A and B are shown apart, each in its own frame.
Chain A
Amino acid sequence: DTGVSQNPRHKITKRGQNVTFRCDPISEHNRLYWYRQTLGQGPEFLTYFQNEAQLEKSRLLSDRFSAERPKGSFSTLEIQRTEQGDSAMYLCASLQGSNTGELFFGEGSRLTVL
């Protein structure tokens, strides 16, 4: 298949630890997005790649957050020195770059920081 795949689906960690999430987009999609969603809220934009270039980062993305897409295929989102406020669902989405605006989301990686 070919939907957007995210791993791990759920990560429980202690405050201060580092975590990394991986996203494999739909193979022909050149744009990849990371969003964060907390309970009862809509997704919030974090960052965006076109191929391997990171074109925009939200102010929500503090220095503890870093995202990469080294070969323009899969992407990783790393959170260093996690805090309890980082607990959320981290969503990855991809887009082919057409003008239809159809973002395809993965099932998300849920982070719980104890």
Chain B
Amino acid sequence: QKEVEQDPGPLSVPEGAIVSLNCTYSNSAFQYFMWYRQYSRKGPELLMYTYSSGNKEDGRFTAQVDKSSKYISLFIRDSQPSDSATYLCAMSSGAGNNRKLIWGLGTSLAVNP
């Protein structure tokens, strides 16, 4: 079993839809949770960063962490065609311990106009 599981999709939604992306994990030591967006042939860019459990909101994006269920989510409201990309979750157990980032496979999202 992989430490981080993420459905690779692809996920296709109409413009304006609410998108829900999820990852599950097995290592209870993970405390730092990140969502990255990656456009085709580009490097990943950080979207959301969350410590421990709870919600974090930034514009149209909301990240949720449920440590009791070992489950994290990213919600995108009012999705736009420009949101079409691969979304990767990543997590680690220690502050600044990024060399130990464990990544999901990424979910491919297409938002259709």
Point out residues on A near B: beta carbons under 8 Å.
4, 6, 31, 33, 40-45, 48, 55-56, 91, 93, 95, 97-108, 110
Contacts and interface: CB of A to CB of B under 8 A. Distances in A.
B101 to A, nearest CB: 7
B100 interface: yes
A101 B44 contact: no
Contacts of A55: 99
B60 interface: no
A45 B95 contact: no
B99 A99 contact: no
Q: Contact residue range for chain B? A: 20 to 34
A94 to B, nearest CB: 10
B98 A103 contact: yes
9 contacts: A4-B43, A33-B99, A42-B4, A42-B6, A43-B101, A55-B99, A101-B34, A101-B92, A108-B43
Given A40-B8, A42-B88, A99 B42 contact: no
Contacts of A43: 44, 88, 101, 103
A97 B45 CA distance: 18
B46 interface: yes
Contacts of B104: 42
A101 B96 contact: yes
A2 to B, nearest CB: 15
B6 to A, nearest CB: 8
Given A31-B98, A101-B34, A105-B36, 12 more contacts: A6-B43, A42-B4, A42-B105, A43-B44, A44-B103, A101-B49, A101-B98, A103-B98, A104-B46, A107-B41, A107-B43, A108-B42
